Structure 1
Amino acid sequence: MRWPLLLTPVLVGMLAAPAGARSRADFAEFAAQEARLVAVSHRLTTASADWCPATMPQPGWLLEDRRRFGDDDWSDAQRVYGATGDGPFIAALVPGSAAERAGLVRGTVIAAINGEPIETPSNDETIRIDAVIVMLAALDPAAPLTVTDGAGRSYRLGAAPGCASAFRVERKGAQAAANGVLVRLRFDLARDVTDEAELAAVVAHELAHNILRHRARLAAASDGRSARLVRATELEADRLSVWLMADAGYDPAAAVRFWTRHKRPLIRAATHPPRKERIAAIEAEMTAMASARAADPSARPPLAVAPPPLE
């Protein structure tokens, strides 16, 4: 399979560093945070699929790979996940999702999609997971798909369209980040945000970056590296997250609670608005959304329909 040119450069930054020797309890907690992330992200992506400008199949899984674990770690990780083969495998599964209804279970290795084997163009730790993401992104989200596991068994998954994005828990890097294709959440932050609605606020914000194509729009802007434009994208993501959360049945006010409670900045303050400004933008968008949907229950977020130019 040829990797889409628009996605290939983005995948370069997806790789995670080896975890190092860890306990089985640590892997169990890491897997628990993966399960939380996939449950929240699946709810957010599928609930807003009717207005997202780009969609892809959202089977309801989060993938891991044997390569992400050191040799000293693998036996314990294998017991936690129930993984038996070498390849990208299901680390967490959403109950009632297309993947779960098809009979897939945690630990299942994904060997092929619609009969096409998973490409492995390099030995990088996440490249096989990334290949699955690229393959899914190229499919018709309104069509069913077939998954083949490592033992050659086939599973027919019903159509499950959702906003185009994949998700991953990592141990290093930014606390939360989006690169246009993938939302990454650091393990320690996920563990710290115990309230599900607040976790949804964090994930919705990063998902909004991908929906609004902020990485690409900043690259195309004449002054895309300026802190001013980066701050503008942060406020846009805060505003769109309100709609994502509301569609998924979360109270958008959880975003206000998160920013009120989370004293440490998630990233450099120089390129991100102060908390008070973010909270004001979220509250104003909540009011605007309530007014828009009181007049038209099917109203779509103006930011997603026609995002303003970054200038």
Structure 2
Amino acid sequence: MRKLLIAAAALACGSQAVAQEGGSLDALLQQDVRLATIAERLMGANHELCRQQMPLTGLIMHSRDQYPKGGQDSAFVNGAIAVSALVPGSPAAAVLEPRDGLAVIGAVPTSGLKAEGKSPVRDAAFEALADQPPQGPMQLKIVRQGQEQAVSLGARPGCRVLVEIRVADGLNGQSDGRVIQVNYGLATVATNDELAVVFAHELAHVVLEHRRRLKAAGVDKGFFGEFGRNQQLNRQVEVEADRMAVHLLANAGYDPSIAPKFWRSSLGQRTSGGLTRSRVYPSPEARAELIEREIADYLGGGTGPSYPGHLLVRRDQPFEN
């Protein structure tokens, strides 16, 4: 893991990377594709619950500035923003190939995109992609073997969020309302169902617009998030996310009972922090019991479709002190 952390810090958290090696990058891309496949299933099935949407195509891209100078140059022979991988069976997989350069997204030339702060140009390219009509089709100009060509991708609407594997060995995921990251260390030990539970929880934060709501309430997410009113409201959003997650899972065709099963598992208990668990989170058993009550009260049949209006209404209500 140490070798991968040093060698594959691109694609991770939007920052520039240090040197990479082919084997480590391949392992990282495998997890990126796996996460994207699960994510697109959940984001597509629940797009009507999201107030911000984007087209889902199965395209995973990266930019040259995510790598050190001279690193992975062969991946960018067709342009500084390129296809890194594709979700199997997706519209993009039927048209695009890894290493295709992305010259124009919609009507936006990628040559004019700029990096903001510590984020790579890839993030600006994602925003251009996410701004396209959610229903598609998406128009692109790509460069393949040095030749530019126009292509059209089918698309379906999904929740607007950038999804990526974060190169870290901790057992956690995180969301800031715009990006969902799952640590490489967690992805490599989780089953597909367990990864879906983790992602559904983070997607629930996006659906319920928790970052916006916490900011409006002046809630601290750092060290002081563990105390007083900050701790109470941070815990409230975690409970809301656990409850919402089972509806997202059911809508995507998962058995929602995989959620309480996960929190009772050894991996779920370790993911929740064990003896060093943050005060923001309930215990794994408390989370499992809460989720089981949500399923019993609102998903009697254990399947979707589900419209969790009792939770969605909270998006426009101020937090109670």
- Give the shorter-chain TM-score range: 0.7 to 0.9
Secondary structure class of the residue paired with 1:264: helix
Contact 2:235 2:282 in 1 (8 A): yes
How many angstroms apart in 2 are the aligned matches of 1:234 and 1:279?
Answer: 13
Structure 2: which amino acid aligns with 1:179? D
Give the match for residue 92 of structure 1. Answer: 85
Does 1:270 pair with 2:269?
A: no
Residue 201 in structure 1 maps to residue 210 in structure 2: no
Residues 160-186 of structure 1, C-alpha deviations (whole Å, 9 max, x = no match): 101121101121497311111110111
Tell me if the contact between 2:208 and 2:312 (Cα under 8 Å) persists in the aligned partners: no
Q: Which residue of 2 aligns with 1:64?
A: 62
Residues matched between the structures, number: 289
Q: Are the equivalent residues in 2 in contact too, given 1:204–1:245 (CA < 8 A)?
A: yes
In 2, the alpha carbon distance for the partners of 1:266 and 1:184 equals 16
Identity rate, percent: 29
Code of the aligned partner of 2:175: A
Q: How does 1:294-309 map to 2 (within 5 A)?
A: 298-303=305-310, 305-307=312-314, 308-309=317-318
Q: Which runs of 5+ in 1 are unaligned?
A: 1-12
CA RMSD, aligned part only? Answer: 2.7
Residues 211, 304 of structure 1: 8 Å contact kept: no
SS in structure 2 of the partner of residue 153 of structure 1: strand
Query: What corresponds to 1:238 in structure 2?
Result: 242
- Structure 1 CA distance, aligned partners of 2:135 and 2:99? 26
Secondary structure of the 1:233 match is: helix
For the residues of structure 2 that align with 1:55 and 1:211, how far apart are their CA atoms? 10
1:62 partner SS: strand
1:133–1:22 distance in 2 versus 1, CA, 3 Å: closer
Q: Identify the residue that residue 165 of structure 1 maps to in structure 2.
A: 161
Counterpart Cα distance in 1 of 2:80 and 2:196: 29
What's 1:4 paired with? Answer: none
Matches within 5 A, 1:247-266: 247-260=251-264, 261-262=266-267, 263-265=269-271
**TM-score, normalization: structure 1?**
0.82
* 8 Å CA contact 1:33, 1:191 repeated in 2: yes
Q: Distance in 1 between matches of 2:52 and 2:300?
A: 26
Q: Could you list the per-position Cα deviations for residues 59-117 of structure 1 after superposition, in whole angstroms to 9, with x for gaps in the alignment? A: 11222222222347426xx4xxx65334232222122323223x112222222111211
Quick check: 2:16–2:120 contact (8 Å CA) kept in 1?
no
Instruction: Give the distance between the partners of 1:67 and 1:284, measured in 2 at CA.
Output: 47
Shift of 1:228: 1.0
Question: Does structure 1 conserve the Cα–Cα contact (< 8 Å) formed by 2:55 and 2:158?
Answer: yes
Worse overlay, 136-145 or 25-34: 136-145
TM-score normalized with structure 2 length: 0.80
What are structure 2's unaligned runs of at least 5 residues?
1-11
* SS of alignment partner, residue 193 of structure 2: helix
The secondary structure found in structure 2 opposite 1:149 is: strand
- Contact 2:79/2:103, CA 8 A, preserved across alignment: no
The higher-RCO structure (CA 8 Å, 6+ apart) is 1
Distance (Å, rounded) in 2 between the aligned partners of 1:35 and 1:130: 17
In 1, the alpha carbon distance for the partners of 2:218 and 2:107 equals: 43
The residue type paired with residue 264 of structure 1 is R
State which drifts further: 64-73 or 133-142: 64-73
- Is the CA contact (8 Å cut-off) linking 1:148 and 1:155 kept in structure 2? yes
